[in-house]
Structure 1
Amino acid sequence: MANESRPCPCDIGDRFDYGGRGQEVQVEHIKAYVCKASASTDKAVIVIHDIFGWQLPNTRYIADMLAANGYIAICPDFFVGQEAWKLSNDWASFDDWLKTRSAGKIDKEVDVILKYLREQCGAKKIGVIGFCWGGAAVQHLMLKNPHLKTGVSLYGVIKFFEDRCSLLHPTFFIFGEKDDIIPLEQVTLLEQKLKQNCKVDYEVKVYPGQTHGFVHRKREDINPQDKPFIEEGRKDMINWLNKYL
């Protein structure tokens, strides 16, 4: 398990020096980052950030990657104005911070974003991806939201929703073999429960040697041995979305 003084290792790896190709918009009570594909499309992906919030350059990089692959990508502020976690914060206060930011209480915001995507962007087929906190939120949405077509949960914290596996939509789960916060026994148990309870397509994939956050937190140029797995994770994410959207 994670070091108790640092209960979430989302800061592993480097933040990108990246400005983003999209723009910030106001959608009712929510700020959001939007990047649109170069060609007209009716397919959109909601990107759910990790504990570092909607302005993290790494997350915007992934949103832009989705747009480059033909999707309308939107990363809303699911903390709705509350401060994202900062590396300078005291990790001893993390649990109290997290109590006011539940990955299972984003339904109101998701409904607002779905309305915006349909009415303002012309989206008809909408999926969702998320990282860590956001990955857990993806699982929550795949269990209950009928308006989303598919989801990709990247190192979503299993313990948040570990007893709920009756997914409504095809879901892809990405994990790292060396993730300190998500032990492999939790991943194995998730697979068992999905096999017993899940009636839709799903896949659980563990990437060798990878730590928490590897798909969107590491810089390939300083982690050459990880580059193939980072690229594979991103490609797998896109392929899953392409298949089900």
Structure 2
Amino acid sequence: MKEITRRKFIATTTLATGFALAVQPISAQVISTDAKGLVAGAVKIPVKDGEIPAYRAAPATGDNFPIVLVIQEIFGVHEHIQDVARRFAQLGYLAIAPELFVRQGDVLKLSSIDEIRPIVAKVPDAQVLSDLDATVNWAVKSAKGNADKLGITGFCWGGRITWLYAVHNPKVKAGVAWYGRLVGDATELQPKYPVDIASKLTVPVLGLYGGKDTGIPLDTVEQMRDRLKSSSSKSEIIVYPDAPHAFFADYRPSYREKEAKEGWKRLLAWFKQNGV
């Protein structure tokens, strides 16, 4: 797929109105959160080189909302990520999920993960971190967000980004990383992994991982735990022994209700404890 030019992505890219093609069929256990009482839907975030689409959900009344950045999986900002944003909004948060792959391609319309991976591999970390800074700015200036109550959570690809953004932006009050890769081979576009920056972390991040995740070996989780000892962040990692990768993804067979619900409770308590 050709990379999308700035002019084209501003003009034509929109958010998904359902689930990504690559994750069909959708599981019967999928959770659907009502938008009643919310302002929810697509918005455009001004960034350095134009605009990117994002999904925003917030209470319909009030202001000065605590902000949560919701960072997508490899499948983009499809219905599951949008639903997670609505879950936060129903609890009083302003939740925003920016579409972070948009310049490189539209992963929502690709039918297999093998087609998606080459697109995602072209996404520079520096671009992602800059887009998230722009999203925070938009949340404060245009969506009644409170800059002093900023949290971030991300899933899989977004779990890795959660760790990285918590180092990049020390104004984040707390992060929760769901099964994001901790170790990897450095490239020009992705020069650092969480283990490389763990000692610099000042923001408290809670890592939620599965003991049966075949893509994230437990020895890498232990490596991260060890590196965190030299940080001032009071970060923690919890491993659910019987959980596979993507155990929070209720639209997929990997979903584990018990661990997902417990992880969500831990996330909310972590945010509350750390001022989000």
TM-score tier after normalising by the smaller chain length? 0.7 to 0.9
Q: 8 Å contact 2:74–2:116 — kept in the other structure?
A: no
Secondary structure, counterpart of 2:203 in structure 1: coil
CA RMSD, Structure 1 to Structure 2 (Å) = 2.7
Residue matched to 2:215: 181
Secondary structure, counterpart of 1:216 in structure 2: coil
Within 5 A, what are the aligned runs for 1:6-155?
14=26, 16=30, 18=32, 21=35, 22-28=40-46, 29-37=51-59, 40=62, 41-54=64-77, 56-81=78-103, 82-84=105-107, 88-89=111-112, 91=114, 96-103=118-125, 105-124=127-146, 125-155=149-179
Q: 8 Å contact 1:39–1:70 — kept in the other structure?
A: no
Q: 8 Å contact 2:179–2:246 — kept in the other structure?
A: yes
The gaps in structure 1 that reach 5 residues or longer are 1-9
The gaps in structure 2 that reach 5 residues or longer are 1-21, 185-192
Residue matched to 2:9: none
Secondary structure, counterpart of 1:147 in structure 2: coil
> d(CA) in 2 for partners of 1:181 and 1:236?
23
Secondary structure, counterpart of 1:204 in structure 2: strand
Per-residue Cα deviation, 1:119-171 (whole angstroms, up to 9, x for no partner):
11232211111011111111111112133221111111112412220212111
> d(CA) in 2 for partners of 1:13 and 1:158?
29
Which structure carries more relative contact order (alpha carbon 8 Å, separation 6+)?
1
Change (3 A) 1:229 1:90: closer
Change (3 A) 1:228 1:95: closer
> d(CA) in 1 for partners of 2:171 and 2:72?
20
> d(CA) in 2 for partners of 1:66 and 1:38?
13
Deviating more after overlay: 61-70 vs 15-24:
15-24
Secondary structure, counterpart of 2:238 in structure 1: strand
Change (3 A) 1:237 1:86: farther
> What amino acid is aligned across from residue 192 of structure 1 in structure 2?
D
Distance apart, 1:192 and its partner CA = 0.7
> What amino acid is aligned across from residue 87 of structure 2 in structure 1?
M
Distance apart, 1:17 and its partner CA = 7.4
> d(CA) in 2 for partners of 1:210 and 1:13?
21
Distance apart, 1:218 and its partner CA = 4.9
Per-residue Cα deviation, 1:101-134 (whole angstroms, up to 9, x for no partner):
2445412211211111111123221111101111
> d(CA) in 1 for partners of 2:116 and 2:132?
25
> What amino acid is aligned across from residue 79 of structure 1 in structure 2?
F
Residue matched to 1:6: none
Q: 8 Å contact 1:59–1:216 — kept in the other structure?
A: no
TM-score, normalising length: structure 2: 0.75
Q: 8 Å contact 1:50–1:133 — kept in the other structure?
A: yes
Query: Structure 1 runs of 4+ off > 6 angstroms?
Result: none
> d(CA) in 2 for partners of 1:243 and 1:13?
38
Q: 8 Å contact 2:75–2:116 — kept in the other structure?
A: no
Distance apart, 1:89 and its partner CA = 3.1
